[in-house]
Amino acid sequence: DLRLLTKASDTPQSLPIERSGEVFELEVQAAAAIEGFRAGRPVVSAEDGRAAVAVCLAAEESARHGGREVRVG
């Protein structure tokens, strides 16, 4: 379960998550990243990393502005 704390309550709410999809792919990705770090090799290319950061920053900007579309790149 995911524990969700909202402004409306001081008590975390339990949000069940089925075992499928992106949430559980994160476990595999984290293990690959740790293995890469330990072996001293990159997990993704610099270009892919830069693109991922650009998407995250655009998502944050969009959220700050009420969900408006933000151009990436």
Return the HEC string of 8-40: CCCCCEEECCCCCCHHHHHHHHHHHHHHHHHHC
Kindly tell me if the per-residue pLDDT of 19 is higher than 80. Answer: no
Kindly tell me if the per-residue pLDDT of 23 is higher than 70. Answer: no
Give, in order, the Cα–Cα distances in Å from 56 to each of 40, 70, 71.
Answer: 25, 11, 12
Is the torsion defined by CA of 5, 11, 16, 20 positive or negative?
positive
Question: What's the confidence (pLDDT) of residue 55?
Answer: 92
Give Cβ neighbours of residue 1 (< 8 Å, ≥ 6 apart). Answer: 14, 15, 16, 17
Kindly tell me if the per-residue pLDDT of 60 is higher than 90. Answer: yes
Which position has the higher pLDDT, 57 or 15?
Answer: 57
Question: What's the confidence (pLDDT) of residue 1?
Answer: 63
Mean pLDDT of 19-39: 83
Question: What's the confidence (pLDDT) of residue 8?
Answer: 84
